[in-house]
Amino acid sequence: MTGRSRAWAALLATCALVSACGGEMSRGEFVAAANEICEDSTEAISGLSADFDPSSPPGDFVERTASELEDLLQRLDELEAPSELQETFTVMLDSLDDGIAELRPLAEAVEKSLDELDPQNPEPSQEDIEAVREISTRLNESLAAADQAALDLGLDKCASTAGATGGS
């Protein structure tokens, strides 16, 4: 392969990696793509909520919700935000990830509390209430931060996705 051929091959490979020679996404393209991903996720989470069976263990619903949010996070993470939006987008993704990390411990704390209820005194212990409260606070703070970052980016569908899970 000649030097010129290598240069063309390198240029073509670079173009393939950078949105078919179009460079980074425009702000409008990014917002549209992210909002579409979030709208799909919101619909899926709404479907989970509609199918919720209160007699099933809370962990079942939380596991399905966490799985859907992990898929959302992965799909969003595959987007390349325009450079001027990257920092705020990273805050949004990190905050959403932090919130997802609190979902399973929250379900475990609630299930533990339910398992330990005394039929004679069906009140959860103060320790269980405090554990659920602490986890819920961290979850809500993370999702509120993700919501705020999404709104700052103009990703209104993404803010509603976090809100659908208990955020602000």
Listing DSSP states for 35-76 in one string gives: HHHHHHHHHHHHHHHHT--TTS-HHHHHHHHHHHHHHHHHHH
Residue 19 located in a structural domain: no
The pTM of this model reads: 0.77
Residue 151 located in a structural domain: yes
Q: How distant, in Å, are the alpha carbons of 38, 107, 165 from that of 42?
A: 6, 20, 9
The range of the structural domain enclosing residue 58 comes to: 26-164
Residue 71 located in a structural domain: yes
Residue 36 located in a structural domain: yes
Cα of 77 vs its chain's centroid, Å: 10
Residue 6 located in a structural domain: no
Instruction: Give the pLDDT band (50/70/90) at residue 21.
Output: very low
Does 13 have pLDDT greater than 90?
Answer: no
Buried b (16+ CB within 10 A) or exposed e, 118-129: eeeeeebeeebe
The four Cα atoms 8, 14, 19, 23 give a dihedral, to 10 degrees, of -100
Residue 91 located in a structural domain: yes
Whole-number pLDDT of residue 139? 92
Region 79-108: what's the mean pLDDT? 94
CATH label of the domain that carries residue 42: 1.20.120
pLDDT in tens, 36-70: 999 999 999 888 888 888 888 777 888 889 999 99
Whole-number pLDDT of residue 152? 96
Residue with tokens 């980074």, as numbered in its chain: 24
| Total structural domains within the chain | 1
Residue 11 located in a structural domain: no
pLDDT in tens, 100-158: 999 999 988 888 888 887 777 778 888 888 999 999 999 999 999 999 999 999 999 99
Cα of 83 vs its chain's centroid, Å: 21
Residue 1 located in a structural domain: no
Does 168 have pLDDT greater than 70?
Answer: no
